[in-house]
Amino acid sequence: MVTGTGPLRGVRVLEFAGLGPGPFCGMLLADLGADVVRVDRRGSRGGLLGALGGTSLLDRGKRSIALDLKDADDLAVVRALAARADVLLEGFRPGVMERLGLGPEPLLAAHPALVYGRMTGWGQTGPLAPTAGHDIGYVALTGALGAGGRADERPAPPANLLGDFGGGGMFLALGALAALLHARATGEGQVVDAAIVDGTAVLTTMLHGMLATGAWTDRRGANLLDTGAPFYDVYRCADGRFLAVGALEEQFYAALLAGLGLAGDPALPDRADPSSWPRLRERFTAVFATRSRAEWWAVFAGTDACVAPVWSLAEAPADPHNRARGVFTEVGGVVQPAVAPRFSATPGTVGAVPRVGEHDAEIRAELGRC
């Protein structure tokens, strides 16, 4: 059994291999010290990424056992693993686990304190529940995709960060841990139905509140936080690279103007008047285009102007602040994000990515099986 140093040390998690949000949830739990056993399909190369020759960092810190869920003996191994687990994570379409005889009813009957976590896009119920989907569709249905992007452009999908990981895996982790607290206090397990549409909708709560009071317009690119405001936007520099500007408050806006050399300019449009935003954006665009990203960062670094360089994924680990905090780490020769959040007494650990079936013998021995 893996014994991590994090706050979840001693928690046993059984995860059925999948894509995206389910494995991400398992990674979060493993980072924080849980013993996560991943059930891989026998003969698999690690899913889509494995077939493409890649390695999924979402599986870091886990152990892998390769099984055939259509084989009676292997199903018995799965049931034995579930009987000793605190948390089970699965991301199949509704009904798949039931057809395998691994649904929540029999497993909770055998182990009443089990937390049975279910990760889907559409949820376990509703007219779309049995259909296929991906992140882009889930965030589209909740209104989150339509709220992002510029007024004169198509909505821009933020990779699969908003739905799969923000609205999906993160909420599954929250739900699993909340249910685990309940189970340890009462001995009563339960099913956690984590749907990406549910979690993504929750992420838009603040916007719905603003919409209800008239502080947000139901049009893309017309608001404070969606590139509508010129003092909360991204600007191209002389070298073609970009800076992010988020000078919302008056004092931060003043620092922005000082850095741009525009403080006290009587011809500068009034930022409090939305009708002047197009002209103000034109002015900012012209000024930012006069220097490179590095030159502007030399001006704004350490100030309260709320300006930051837009690093690429490859550039971000070299940023001095990220390096000083250890935001990224290197394990097995692969640079990757470190554990978050941080704990003063029980720090988490980034583990290695297992090969499919790497821990077969070890896990079977723990179960008393050869």
Catalytic residues: 134, 164
Q: Which residues, 6+ apart, have CB-to-CB distance to 21 below 8 Å? A: 91, 119, 164, 165, 168, 169, 172, 196
Contact criterion met (CB below 8 Å) for 123 and 195: yes
Q: What CA–CA distance (Å, rounded) separates 286 from 289?
A: 5
Angle formed at CA 177 by CA 171 and CA 179, multiple of 5 degrees: 100
Tokens of 140: 């589209």
SS3 state of residue 147:
coil
One DSSP character per residue, 265-322 reads -TTSPPTT-GGGHHHHHHHHHHHHTTS-HHHHHHHHTTSSS-EEE---TTTGGG-HHH
Type of residue numbered 50: G
Q: What CA–CA distance (Å, rounded) separates 226 from 237?
A: 20
Q: Which residues, 6+ apart, have CB-to-CB distance to 66 below 8 Å? A: 40, 41, 42, 43, 44, 356, 357, 360
Angle formed at CA 357 by CA 352 and CA 361, multiple of 5 degrees: 105
Tokens of 346: 């029980």
Type of residue numbered 275: S
Q: What CA–CA distance (Å, rounded) separates 51 from 68?
A: 18
Q: Between the CA of residue 210 and those of 201, 218, 235, 279, what are the distances in Å?
A: 14, 10, 26, 26
Q: Compute φ and ψ for 44, nearest 5 degrees.
A: -75, 150
Please identify which residue in the block is written with the tokens 């006069």.
290
Number of C-beta neighbours around residue 53 at 10 A: 8
Q: Using omega within 30 degrees of 0 as the cis cutoff, is the peptide bond preceding 341 cis?
A: yes
